[in-house]
Structure 1
Amino acid sequence: MRHRTGTRIPLRSPVTRLAVVAALAAGALGVHAAEPAGAAQAAVCNGYVGLTYDDGPSGSTPALLTALRQNGLRATMFNQGQYAAANPAQVRAQVSAGMWVGNHSYTHPHLTQQSQATIDSEISRTQQAIAGAGGGTPRLFRPPYGETNATVRAVEARYGLTEVLWQVDSQDWNGASTDAIVAAAGRLTNGQVILMHDWSANSRAAIPRIAQGLAARGLCAGMISPQTGRAVAPG
C-alpha cells in the first residue's frame, strides 16, 4: 500500500494493515488527529485591554504571576519603589513572567498635596529602584489614588513618563467580591484599562474567569502604549 506521495509502507501484520487503512480513511474524510497541546490555535484578538495591578511587589506577587501565566494573561505591574527596593527578586520575576513594570511612586503619598521637590523624589527614586532591581526603566506612571495635577504631570514629563489612570475600577481595594471584579472586567472595551491590586486575593481568584470572559469577546490582554496610555498589541 502506498501513500499519495508514493512512499511504501510495510504491512507486517493485520493490526498494522488495519491501522493504516483507518489512517488513510480518516485523511480522506478530512479527519485530523488531535494536535499537540502547544499547537493550539492562537486566540484571535479583535482588541486589547490593559490589566493593571498596583502596589507590588509583595508576598502575594508569586501567586499572582502564577495565576496570570496559567491563564495566558500579561499585565502591567505598577510597583511602589519602596517595595521594589525591598523585593528585587520579585521585580525580576514580574519581568520573567512577561509582565510590564510601571512606576507607582515610592511611598504612595497624596502627590497633589506635596511640593514639587517631594514629587520629584517619589518618582525618581522609584525609577532607580525598579531599574536597580532588574525591572528596566519604567515609561509608565500611575499616581497614587489616581490624583494628579499640572505639577505632577510636569515631573512625569521630566522623566519621560506617560500617566496611566483607568477607565474601569475593579473596586478590589474596597472589598469587591470576586464576582464583582469579574463583572467589572466584563465592561472593558478595546483600549481600556482596569485597576486592580497586587495584594487582592479576590482579584487573583478572578483571573481564570477574566481570561475566559475576554476570550469570549475576542479581547486579549495587551501592553499600555507609552504614546497614548491605552492598551495595544504587545510590542
Structure 2
Amino acid sequence: MSTGPRRWSRRLGKRLAVVVTALASAVPLTLTAAEAAPARAAACNGYVGLTFDDGPSGSTSALLNALTRNGLRATMFNQGQYAAANPALVRAQVAAGMWVANHSYTHPHLTRLSRAQIDSEIARTQQAIAGAGGGTPKLFRPPYGETDATVKSVAAAHGLTEIIWNVDSQDWNGASTDAIVRAAARLTNGQVILMHDWSANTLAAVPRIAQGLAARNLCAGMISPQTGRAVAPG
C-alpha cells in the first residue's frame, strides 16, 4: 500500500502547526482584564451595592471565594473588634477587590450611647481597619440601622457617609436562600442590599444573585460616599 498520502498529510500537519504557533505568538488568544473591561462595562445598565455586615469572621474566606468566582464585588461593613482580631482577613477582603467600611467596634445600639461613646465606637473601628490594612473607611453603617442626628454628626466628623439600605435580605432573621435571592431580585439601579458575612444561606445565594443581576444587565458596584448610591467602580 502506498504511504505517499500519509507522508503528505504529516507534512501538512506540521506546516499547519507552525502557522498556528506563529499566530498564537502574535495574537493573544485571551483578552487581558483591561481589554475585557469595556465589554463588561457595556453590559452594565446600572449598578447595585452588595453589602455584608459583621465581618470579618470564620465565614469570610468562603464568602470572598464565592464573590470572586462569580465576578462580584461588595462592600464589607466590618466590626472593629473583629478587624483588630483578624487583620489577615481584612487584607484578604481588599485583595479580593472588596471595599471595607465601618460598622462600629462592638455593634451596640448607638442611639442609646453618649456622644463620647459613639465617637469611641467609630474612631476605634477606623483605627482597627486602617491598622489591619483595610485603608481608611469612607462609609459607615450604624448597627441595626439605628441612627439619629448625633450619630450622623459623629460619623461625619470622621469623614464618613452613613449608609443604610434599600433592600433587607432578612438573612439575619433566618431567611432561606430562595428568599435572599428574591430579595436581591428587587434591587434597582443605585440601590443597596443588606446581607451578612456569617450567613450560610447568603453564601449559598451568591451564585444565583450573580446570575439574576447579569440577566437584568446590572453589575455590582461601589457605594458613592457623595450620594450613598451604588455607582460604577472607580
User: After TM superposition, is the score higher than 0.5?
Assistant: yes
Equivalent residue, structure 2, for 1:51 = 50
The alignment's C-alpha RMSD in Å is 1.9
**Residue 91 of structure 1: how far off its partner (Å):** 0.3
- List aligned pairs for 1:80-229, cutoff 5 A: 80-229=79-228
* Identity value in percent: 78
Equivalent residue, structure 1, for 2:60 = 61
Secondary structure, aligned partner of 2:84: helix
**Residue identity in the other structure for 1:110:** H
Matches of 1:87 and 1:226, distance apart in 2: 26
Matches of 1:233 and 1:137, distance apart in 2: 20
Equivalent residue, structure 2, for 1:42 = 40
Matches of 1:56 and 1:234, distance apart in 2: 22
Structure 1 stretch 197-206 or stretch 36-45: which is displaced more? 36-45
> Gaps spanning 5+ residues in structure 1: where?
1-11, 24-34
Cα separation, partners in 2 of 1:37 and 1:15, compared to 1, 3 Å: farther
Judging by fraction of residues, say which structure has more helix. Answer: 2
**Residue identity in the other structure for 1:13:** W
Q: Deviations over 1:135-173 (max 9, x none)?
A: 000000000000000000110110010000000000000
Matches of 1:92 and 1:82, distance apart in 2: 15
Cα separation, partners in 2 of 1:197 and 1:16, compared to 1, 3 Å: farther
**Residue 17 of structure 1: how far off its partner (Å):** 5.1
**TM-score between the two structures when normalised by the length of structure 2:** 0.86
Q: Deviations over 1:109-153 (max 9, x none)?
A: 000111000000000000000000000000000000000000001
Matches of 1:234 and 1:200, distance apart in 2: 25
Q: Which runs of 4+ in 1 moved over 2 A?
A: 12-20, 35-43
**TM-score between the two structures when normalised by the length of structure 1:** 0.85
**Residue identity in the other structure for 1:226:** P
Corresponding residue pairs, total: 211
